[in-house]
A and B are shown apart, each in its own frame.
Chain A
Amino acid sequence: MTEKREEKKVRYDFKKDYEAPIREFYPRERYLPGRGINEIVTQHDFMGKKFERFESLEHYRDILRLCAKCGTCRYLYREWDRVCPSGELGKFESFYLGGKNLLLWGLTRGQIKWTESLVKILYHCTLCGNCQVQCQIPEIHYYATDWLEAAREYAVEEGYGPMPEQKRFGEHVEVEHNPYMELHKDRLAWLPVPAEKMPKNAKVVYFVGCTSSYRQKNIATTTFEILQDLGVDFTVMRDEWCCGSPLQRTGQRNGAVACAEHNISEIEKTGAETVITSCAGCYRTLKEDYGERYKKELNFEVVHSSVYLLKLLKKGDLKLKKGIKKKVTYHDPCHIGRHMGIYEEPRELLQSIPEVEFVEMPRNRQYAWCCGAGGGVKASFKDLAMFASKERISEAIATGAECLVSTCPFCYRNFKDAIEEMGVDLKLYDLVELVKESMQ
């Protein structure tokens, strides 16, 4: 009898029930394998149909009817903050996931037609996936961004997509292999050593990506120097092309596949066992799209720089000695976070730097607000990219942090633009920059 009473007291601690946030009643999120989206209870049966990822819009047709634009996708699970940059800026129902679902439901049933505004709505989205985390209908929770991407492929097939700016960068990728309207011959201009001095063969390839090659060269240079300082047997590809992410996210699949085939062949020529990338978008594309979407055989492992460096730190090869007395917060890039499930490694690496004071933003990990750059948005919807970025910068500042740290050059670039426009005093770092500073 006494034992029973004791047990009850512990489990239903009165004060704790009152003060604890609701989420504490539940076990910590268990993420889907290889993704940063939590598992939820699946339905017993969906007309006996099984769904797969990376399929055509037709494959997901039956799921679309489950949506009733109830708006659950707009709010952070059980905490009620906003999650959708597209909807919060666009305001109309069509810009939220619920609206898009029902428009696609109508489109696939012939109730509405392709229009310029429909195309714009479908592309007015960073594909960050925060909405799908919130929806508790399992099929939507698991596959929504898959059909949002499939809808863009369908738009391209039908001749309505992508957006004009995206089409232009798609054409440029075909010729100069980058979406920045730069020349391919200048791709390695950031390299601190002459390109021909880089070994042809190495165990590790540093896949730089277009943004770090042409815009955020600080990230490319720093990553290069870290690898060099650590004595890693690595090289960079003489003929690296765009990973294909900007094309795939905007429905231009054929161009993306061409990029994949070229890059795989070039990586194989180096004999590398590991490909490191400091770009979240490249990471997702190389690791997930090349293998699982395009069904290419990859004879190498793809690793994000934050994961690779943490591994070296744990092995004792990387030593973080110099203290950095700064209060920092971390932004989860969607492409390594929600899309691929890398949440803890960057945090662990960051917090291993002596004297760093780490603070979380309220919306973190799978609930992180998107930086606003992805999905072709920065090229075609500058207002949306800036809106989303400013919102995140404000959230970071509200934590009291002096520095915002991320692990994606594209997030970095968008944050940089917003910080400049807002005129705020928030220092921006890629994680590798702080690691490098602490190594000295």
Chain B
Amino acid sequence: MVVTSRYERVYEQLCSIAGSRYVSNRQEELFLYRWDYFTCSTPPGRCDFVVLPGSTEEVQEIIYLANRERIPVVPMVSGLNNAGLANPLQGGIVLDLRRMNRVLEVNEDDMYAVVEGGITWADLALYLNKKHPTLRPPITWSPPATGVVPSLLENGMHDLGMVGGCGSDFINGLEVVLPTGEIVVTGSLALSDSWYSRPPLPDISGLFIGWSGRTGIVTKASMKLWPKLPRRDYSLSAKTFKDGIEIEMALFKAGGPLLGICDITAINSFWSLASRTYSGLDLSRVPLEPRGADYMGMLTVMASTEKEMEAKAEVICDITKKLGGRITVYEEVQRVMAENERGITPLVLNCPVQEFPIWNFYMGGIGEWIGGYMPIRRVPEYYLESLEITKKYGKHALYYHRAMFGGHYNIARTLVLSNKDDPEDMRRTRECLMELDSALRKYGVRYKPQYWAVLRNNNKGHAGTLGLISRIKKMLDPNNILNPGQGM
């Protein structure tokens, strides 16, 4: 009689579910999937198996197996991870949905796409460009291999943020394998044959949004698309960061998205990075020099006709100039920039961002940020404090902010770079990130928080709300198998 260990038994069962070609317990995969390799505040975890399922049914079978064996399951997409949210902290199975990367439906009339859970921005952009060129998705400023569904679920910020809000605002509905293995569908598809909206049913999509993959594995999503209209990108600048935010607020009040503004951001971090990377000049240390502006922003306008574009541009430019800001068509900025600073320019014309790694990892492969949602007036306050904190740790202040949904809410982030090969630098970076986390909480609410950031604030907040969150998690995942140790 052959006696197999539990480990061997699980491996064999995973192979029989997903096919041995898509299951690995090799040193190499376990090494690569234990850590996201670009954040340093969360230590590498450990995983026992990496599985690439090919269907909802396979995901379901794996969940049943994990419940039987009481093994953690950590879902992720395309091998990418952010803030260590899919670092397998307690071992188990890492489920990379990368094989489930198809676009299942595009409805041009109701402007939505149904995608599988493992699709990336690059996959979706390629598909729409080829087959539905009049429509576009909202895309994050992240590498092309970033998962679409995790971006939506974790409230990522997009280049259509002003018109549509954050990632989750674009969700029409989800197909989810629950931690107990049942499949649920949220949104209009639950009671009709089409997936065009989230209302009017009770909005159970929220059970899976912002949960860091702890309440279910999303295998399909319906997401809103937007007409791909001609666009014009502008560079905005203002003497102080506060002045820049005043201009943004004036633009919100003048109509924001009604003026055709689909995206408005402060991109000080990118200017700083581009400048530091390509010319050695550290703008974050001398923010008022050499450009004479502390606030560096970017604004994108969409319009259907040239006449409409000119009319909108006139209003936007007038408001900006009246408040002392400068506004320039972006190509013009690019033209006058020094050759070695042009690394920044593709960003505004291109999403997803192929230049992402050079900006974020040039120092040593680590680029971790602390970010949160906050009211608009808090944005410059957090900016100034984050500037001081990063300076204190000898780090470049790489700050950016993005206005969402017509300016109804805002996101601000501070990026800190570090060197994977330098333990002392990693330690200093961790301390800096933790101090930034503490500072941010004075101004807003963290998003995509690292597990330590959740732990240190576990009991802070509305007791009733936190209690409900805890009860929902226990109800949905009685064996606590999904991404244990992470999230709320």
Contacts and interface: CB of A to CB of B under 8 A. Distances in A.
A135 B357 contact: yes
B78 interface: yes
B89 interface: no
B368 to A, nearest CB: 10
Contact of A113 (B27, B78, B277): B27
A118 B52 contact: no
A71 to B, nearest CB: 2
B145 A72 contact: yes
Interface in A1-32: 8, 11-12, 14-15, 17-18, 22, 25-26
Interface stretch (A77-85, A290-298, A326-334): A77-85
A74 interface: yes
Contacts of A118: 27-28
B109 interface: no
A121 interface: yes
Interface in B13-27: 21-22, 24, 26-27
B144 A80 contact: yes
B143 interface: yes
A80 B143 contact: no
B54 to A, nearest CB: 10
B278 A44 contact: yes
B309 interface: yes
B327 interface: no
B365 A99 contact: no
Nearest to B126: A80
B29 A66 contact: no
A93 B360 CA distance: 20
Contacts of A70: 38, 80, 143, 145, 356-357, 361
A75 B124 CA distance: 12
A185 B78 CA distance: 51
B50 A44 contact: no
A103 interface: yes
A106 interface: yes
B350 interface: yes
Interface string B348-388: 01100011111011101111000000000000000000000
A193 interface: no
Interface residues of B, number: 67
B32 A68 contact: no
A91 B125 CA distance: 20
B78 A71 contact: yes
Interface in A64-122: 65-72, 74-75, 77-81, 91-94, 98-99, 102-103, 105-106, 109, 111-113, 115, 117-118, 121
Interface in B102-159: 120, 122-123, 125-126, 129, 143-146
Given A71-B80, A93-B33, A62 B421 contact: yes
B27 A71 contact: no
B143 A93 contact: no
Contact of A103 (B32, B231, B329): B32
A18 B331 contact: no
Contacts of B362: 43, 66, 137
A271 interface: no
Interface string A53-64: 000000000100
A68 B33 contact: no
Given A14-B306, A91-B52, A93-B29, A71 B79 contact: yes
A115 B27 contact: yes
Contacts of B52: 91-92
B442 to A, nearest CB: 30
Interface in B278-315: 278-280, 305-306, 309
B198 interface: no
Contacts of A25: 331, 349
Contacts of B230: 14-15, 17-18
B231 A69 contact: no
Interface residues of A, number: 54
Contacts of B27: 112-113, 115, 117-118
Contact of B123 (A80, A93, A115): A80
B343 interface: yes
B232 interface: yes
Contacts of A66: 357, 361-362, 364-365
A45 interface: yes
B340 interface: yes
Contact of A43 (B120, B277, B305): B277
A68 B367 contact: yes
Interface centre among B31, B306, B362 (most CB of A within 10 A): B31
Interface centre among B21, B24, B309, B365 (most CB of A within 10 A): B365
A12 B144 contact: no
Given A22-B349, A22-B350, A93-B79, A80 B122 contact: yes
B241 to A, nearest CB: 25
Contacts of B279: 44
A98 B79 CA distance: 10
B37 A68 contact: yes
A136 interface: yes
A71 B143 contact: yes
B31 A112 contact: yes
A42 B280 CA distance: 11
B125 A80 contact: yes
B479 interface: no
Nearest to B133: A19
Nearest to A26: B346
Contacts of B79: 69, 71, 93, 98-99
Contact of B277 (A8, A44, A71, A115): A44
Interface in B45-99: 50, 52, 78-80, 96, 98-99
A68 B357 contact: yes
Given A65-B419, A80-B129, A137-B362, A71 B145 contact: yes
Interface in A327-380: none
Contacts of B309: 14
B28 A94 contact: yes
B28 A112 contact: yes
Nearest to B24: A92
Nearest to B33: A93
B430 interface: no
Contacts of A42: 278
A94 B144 contact: no
A323 to B, nearest CB: 34
B26 A115 contact: yes
Contacts of B242: none
A113 B21 CA distance: 22
A138 B232 CA distance: 29
A250 B120 CA distance: 33
B420 interface: yes
A422 B126 CA distance: 26
A117 B96 CA distance: 20
29 contacts: A12-B232, A18-B230, A22-B350, A41-B342, A41-B343, A43-B358, A45-B280, A68-B36, A68-B357, A68-B366, A70-B38, A71-B145, A71-B146, A72-B144, A80-B123, A80-B144, A81-B126, A91-B98, A93-B33, A93-B96, A98-B79, A99-B32, A99-B79, A115-B26, A115-B27, A117-B28, A118-B27, A135-B357, A137-B361
Given A25-B331, A80-B122, A92-B32, 18 more contacts: A42-B278, A65-B421, A68-B365, A69-B32, A69-B37, A70-B356, A71-B79, A72-B356, A74-B122, A75-B354, A102-B37, A103-B28, A105-B420, A109-B421, A112-B27, A115-B28, A136-B357, A137-B357
Interface of A: 8, 11-12, 14-15, 17-18, 22, 25-26, 41-45, 62, 65-72, 74-75, 77-81, 91-94, 98-99, 102-103, 105-106, 109, 111-113, 115, 117-118, 121, 134-138
Interface of B: 21-22, 24, 26-29, 31-33, 36-38, 50, 52, 78-80, 96, 98-99, 120, 122-123, 125-126, 129, 143-146, 229-232, 276-280, 305-306, 309, 329, 331, 339-340, 342-343, 346, 349-350, 354-358, 360-362, 364-367, 419-421
